[in-house]
Amino acid sequence: MINVRPTGAVLGAEILGVDLSQDLDDVTFHKIVDLWHEHEVVFFRDQKLTPAQHVAFSRRFGELELHVRKDCCRPGYHELFVVSNIVVDGKPIGSQDAGLFWHSDLCYLKVPSRGSLFYALEVPHDANGKALGDTRFASSTAAYNALPEATRRKIDGRKAVQSYKSGYYRERNAGPRKTLTPEQEARTPDVEHPIVRTHPANGKKCLFVNEGYTARIAGMDGAEGDALLSELIAHSTRPEFIYQHSWCAGDFLLWDNCLVQHQAIPDYKLPLRRHMERTTLTGTAPF
């Protein structure tokens, strides 16, 4: 029997009474999808999933993306993007610096991702037992709803340029990333998407710009465009739109890449280990 416990923030809910390693019946699965669309982020505690079960549950939602950084995926599972600071035999097991800037997964593709399913395998803790490496989620619907009327008028019908390269090469504490291969570059040309997206399932309006990958407002060059983009980015992550998830090993969390954007908090380092794995759902063209 499914129970739901909203987080108390403007988004996010825990779903209780579901074991995701089992083959879920359609009624339970559709209930989870409805709750996800309603709460934008949902999570399940105490899950015990093999990589194959993580992928199998994700496939119930549809096609999965194969990340452009194949070297960051779990060996044998190109569908599982690994986010971790762990290094084995001198080689990082995944992306060590993913998600430090606010972003929505794969927003830089012509068809961005519908959502991501993130599983916590190892979570770092401080000396007092407090979990580190939280993830913040900001509701893009709450951000859209709170936009001043004058700003809504300015962005009406406009698009923004989403750029994988500008996000990939951003300055990070971990130092510069490897240069993208010509093949990776070819897979990630800059794209334009509406600044205000409509969620394909529930029709909610979402503000679709982010700090990580939104390079500029299309057709609005110079200071005017820069000022508008800065205003939208600052607005979209105001504290009242945010739920901050404190991880426990075994947490399995779904975020919707249209309804929310997210950011990882890098407040830990080795020997404290963090190991998370993500599947990323194929989406539909924004409108």
Task: Give me the active site residues, please.
Answer: 103, 105, 262, 278
Tokens 């990323």, residue?
Answer: 280
- Regarding 199 and contact with ligand SIN (CB under 6 A), the answer is no
The one among 37, 159, 275, 278 contacting ligand SIN by CB under 6 A: 278
- Do residues 13 and 42 make contact, with C-beta atoms less than 8 angstroms apart? yes
Site for ligand SIN in 246-275 (CB under 6 A): 262, 264
Q: Which is nearer to ligand SIN, 137 or 144 (CB)?
A: 137
> Rule CB under 6 A: which of 76-95 touch ligand SIN?
83
Tokens (6 digits) for 71: 């070297």
Please select the residue that binds ligand SIN; options are 20, 98, 258, 281, rule is CB under 6 A: 98
Q: How many residues bind ligand SIN, per CB under 6 A?
A: 8
Q: Does 142 bind ligand SIN (CB under 6 A)?
A: no
What's the min distance (Å) between Cβ of 226 and ligand SIN?
25
| CB of residue 264 to ligand SIN, shortest distance in Å | 3
Q: Provide the phi-psi class of 209: left if phi over 0, else alpha when psi is between -120 and 50, else beta.
A: beta
C-alpha–C-alpha distance, residues 139 and 256, integer Å:
10
Q: Which is nearer to ligand SIN, 199 or 278 (CB)?
A: 278
Are 168 and 180 in contact, with CB atoms under 8 Å apart?
yes
Least Å from the CB of residue 278 to ligand SIN: 5
Nearer to ligand SIN, 11 or 98 (CB): 98
Task: For residue 5, list its beta bridge partners.
Answer: 14
Round to whole Å and give the CA distance between 58 and 223: 43
Strands 135-139 and 275-280, how do they pair? Answer: unpaired
Distance of closest approach, residue 135 Cβ to ligand SIN, in angstroms: 4
DSSP letter for each residue of 37-57: HHHSEEEESS----HHHHHHH
Q: Does 37 bind ligand SIN (CB under 6 A)?
A: no
**Interface map 100-139 toward ligand SIN (x if CB under 6 A):** -----------------------------------x----
Under 8 Å CB-to-CB from 66, ≥6 apart: which residues? 73, 78, 79
Instruction: Name the closest residue to ligand SIN (Cβ).
Output: 99
Rule CB under 6 A: say whether 276 interacts with ligand SIN. yes
Contacts of 128 (CB under 8 A, 6+ apart): none
Distance CA 144, CA 187 (A): 30
Query: Which residue, 114 or 262, is less far from ligand SIN as judged by CB?
Result: 262
**Torsion, Cα of 168, 54, 59, 191 (10° steps):** -10
- Residue 71 main-chain phi, psi, to 5 deg: -65, -10
CB nearer to ligand SIN: give 114 or 278: 278
Is residue 232 close enough to count as binding ligand SIN by CB under 6 A? no
Name the site residues for ligand SIN (rule: CB under 6 A). 83, 98-99, 135, 262, 264, 276, 278
